[in-house]
Amino acid sequence: MRATGGQALAVPTDVRDPQAVQALARRAVDTFGRIDVWVNNAAVTLFAKFEESPLTSTAR
């Protein structure tokens, strides 16, 4: 990507922590001057029938 002029910033961040997300945003702006694209790739895996799956998360 860098060979074609692009740059990326990967910062592992606990997206459950609002202060950590704010720190990530500040780091991106400090590095690049602005945020053009934000990919929040937080995932949850649940193996259950839809009818049996809880509506809220209890994971931490």
Whether 43 is covered by a domain: the verdict is yes
Domain presence at residue 59 = no
Residue 41 placed within a domain: yes
Say whether pLDDT at 57 is over 70.
no
Is residue 38 one of the residues assigned to a domain?
A: yes
Predicted confidence at residue 19, as pLDDT, reads 95
Residue 57 is assigned to a structural domain of this protein: no
Q: What is the pTM for the complete model shown?
A: 0.60
pLDDT tens for residues 4-50? 888 888 888 988 889 999 999 999 999 999 998 887 777 777 788 87
If one compares 51 and 29, the residue with the highest pLDDT of the two is 29
Number of structural domains found in the chain: 1
Q: State how far the Cα of 20 lies from the Cα of 55, in Å rounded to an integer.
A: 26
39: containing domain: 2-52
| Closest residue by Cα to residue 20 from 33, 35, 36, 28 | 28
Q: What is the pLDDT of residue 58?
A: 64
Q: Which residues contact 32 (CB under 8 A, 6 or more apart)?
A: 7, 9
In a domain, 17, yes or no: yes
